[in-house]
């Protein structure tokens, strides 16, 4: 086993594949960040709100007011440097730290593809993505290599495969396959689209989309791996993600997945693409064709790097299954839902009416959520228990400063999930100001009294 592992770690591949991905990833991140700024989302999501919903354990991560723009500027400059391969190691570290910090500032804006970007940017720190077709390789010929270890591209393929395969596993549930939920709710909203619009009201189309989506996610990593099916698989990737982009507002995620799937193609494809770019900008491409290859040196630094990456991969494989440690229905409690590649599986909406009670006088105040939260924050808070708890603590602290004696905070909360009638969600008798966030099950979430079978 050890010999096989050593043999694999010594295998080389063309550096063009990783260089192509580095360039494409950097450019996509640049466009994504510019898009974020152009929509004035920094102001809307990170500066205007009075309260920012934090991740447990990362409560210290806060926006910097107007200085938050500096954080985005750092990420933008880092993405440019990543794409051209200039000071790549420093740029990849700065991008990972700045982008992940942005992601952690407010979980209201949580998206699976933001998490995916953080994962990829972390792994890039350890890869020789600047060994070929980069400013670094041009300025420092000693770090320029035409061949790099094969595992440096394989690890990215594995991470992409996890996203797809786990998303497919998550779709093996009774709501998705047997009820076509929530697509049965979402697809008719696009009935005005030309050509396919009228079909989106049809029941059979809802089920066709559900089952096709499940089979697509489960099979696409393997179809991309196999040379004979790779071109067909890529066509599926393009059609699938462009269709989802038309039907749903999911930002740059489709383009990230389309470009990432090109990792599976033969390195000659990537080399031809880079050569085309070189000709376009009148660059001397031949200087990178030096026939040099990175020789694996199993020293302490290399072993430490492999331990970190191996542990990281194991974490990515195991962490999405943490929901099994919790009782009740995952979609209802959402304990273990985030960071598990459960993509667009729920249509969930809630209503919350908070009441603050003076513990001495028993005088009550009915809270107008709009005084403290943006419309988007209130929408997200209304059906997510950890949001509700954090908001309750915010209200406790706020009204205590207003002179209320040890404010008690209770909520009347109703939630509807995947077309079901709304039902009472949080125990209205519980003083949430006395409940604390933890990794333990939240006993004040009322039972779902239904079952969604599957992963």
Domain parsing of the chain, residue ranges: 347-434
C-beta separation of 148 from 131 below 8 A: yes
User: CB within 8 A of 366, min separation 6: which ones?
Assistant: 353, 354, 355
Per-residue pLDDT of the chain (455 residues; tens, 9 = 90+): 677 888 888 899 999 999 999 999 999 999 999 999 999 999 999 999 999 999 999 999 999 999 999 999 999 999 999 999 999 999 999 999 999 999 999 999 999 999 999 999 999 999 999 999 999 999 999 999 999 999 999 999 999 999 999 999 999 999 999 999 999 999 999 988 898 888 999 999 999 999 999 999 999 999 999 999 999 999 999 999 999 999 988 888 899 999 999 999 999 999 999 999 999 998 888 888 888 888 878 888 888 999 999 999 999 999 999 999 999 999 999 999 999 999 889 999 999 999 999 999 999 999 999 999 999 999 999 999 999 999 999 999 999 999 999 999 999 999 999 999 999 999 999 999 999 999 999 999 999 999 998 87
Closest CA to 16 of 290, 291, 268: 268
> Residue with structure tokens 């952690």?
104
- To the nearest 10 degrees (0 to 180), the angle between helices 112-124 and 151-170 is 160
Could you please report the per-residue DSSP string of 165-210?
A: HHHHHHT-BHHHHHS-TTHHHHGGGGTTSTTTGGGGG-HHHHHHHH
Altogether, the residues listed in the chain come to a count of 455
Structure confidence at residue 329 (pLDDT): 94
Instruction: Give the CA distances from residue 117 to residues 28, 104, 170, in Å, rounded to whole numbers and listed in that order.
Output: 10, 13, 20
Angle in degrees, 0-180, between the axes of helices 112-124 and 88-104, rounded to the nearest 10? 150
Rg (CA), the chain: 25
Helix axes 112-124, 16-38, angle to 10 degrees: 140
pLDDT of residue 316: 97
**Cα angle: 421, vertex 425, 431; to 5 degrees:** 155
3-class state of residue 356 by DSSP = strand
Say whether 1 sits in a helix, a strand or coil: coil
What is the pTM for the complete model shown?
Answer: 0.93
């Amino acid at each position: 086993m050890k010999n096989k592992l050593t043999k694999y770690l010594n295998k080389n591949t063309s550096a063009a594949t990783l260089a192509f991905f580095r360039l494409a990833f950097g450019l996509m991140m640049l466009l994504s960040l510019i898009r974020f700024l152009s929509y004035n989302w920094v102001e809307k999501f990170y500066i205007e709100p009075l309260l920012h919903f934090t991740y447990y354990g990362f409560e210290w991560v806060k926006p910097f007011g107007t200085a938050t723009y500096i954080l985005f500027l750092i990420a933008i400059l880092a993405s440019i440097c990543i794409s051209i391969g200039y000071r790549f190691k420093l740029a990849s570290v700065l991008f990972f730290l700045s982008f992940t910090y942005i992601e952690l500032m407010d979980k209201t804006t949580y998206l699976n593809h933001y998490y995916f970007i953080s994962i990829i940017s972390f792994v890039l720190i350890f890869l020789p993505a600047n060994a070929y077709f980069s400013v670094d390789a041009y300025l420092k010929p000693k770090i320029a290599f035409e061949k790099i270890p094969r595992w440096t591209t394989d690890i990215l393929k594995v991470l992409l495969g996890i996203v797809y395969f786990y998303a497919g596993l998550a779709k093996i549930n009774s709501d998705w396959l047997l009820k076509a939920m929530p697509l049965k709710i979402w697809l008719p909203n696009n009935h005005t689209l030309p050509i396919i619009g009228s079909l989106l009201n049809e029941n059979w189309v809802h089920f066709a989309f559900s089952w096709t989506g499940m089979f697509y996610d489960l099979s696409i990593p393997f179809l991309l791996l196999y040379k004979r099916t790779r071109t067909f698989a890529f066509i599926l990737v393009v059609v699938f993600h462009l269709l989802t982009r038309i039907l749903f507002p999911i930002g740059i995620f489709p383009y990230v997945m389309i470009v990432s799937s090109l990792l599976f193609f033969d390195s000659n494809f990537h080399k031809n693409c880079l050569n085309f770019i070189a000709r376009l900008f009148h660059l001397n491409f031949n200087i990178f064709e030096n026939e040099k290859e990175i020789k694996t040196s199993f020293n302490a630094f290399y072993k430490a790097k492999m331990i970190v990456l191996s542990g990281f991969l194991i974490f990515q494989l195991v962490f999405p299954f943490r929901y099994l440690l919790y009782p009740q229905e995952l979609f209802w409690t959402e304990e273990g839902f985030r960071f598990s590649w459960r993509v667009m599986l729920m249509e969930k909406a809630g209503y919350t009416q908070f009441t603050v009670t003076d513990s001495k006088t028993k005088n009550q105040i009915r809270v107008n959520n709009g005084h403290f939260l943006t419309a988007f924050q209130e929408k997200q808070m209304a059906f997510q228990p950890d949001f509700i708890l954090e908001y309750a603590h915010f209200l406790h602290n706020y009204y205590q400063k207003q002179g209320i004696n040890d404010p008690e905070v209770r909520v009347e909360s109703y939630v509807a999930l995947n077309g079901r009638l709304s039902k009472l969600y949080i125990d209205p008798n519980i003083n949430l100001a006395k409940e604390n966030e933890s990794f333990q099950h939240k006993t004040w979430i009322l039972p779902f009294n239904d079952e969604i079978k599957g992963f």
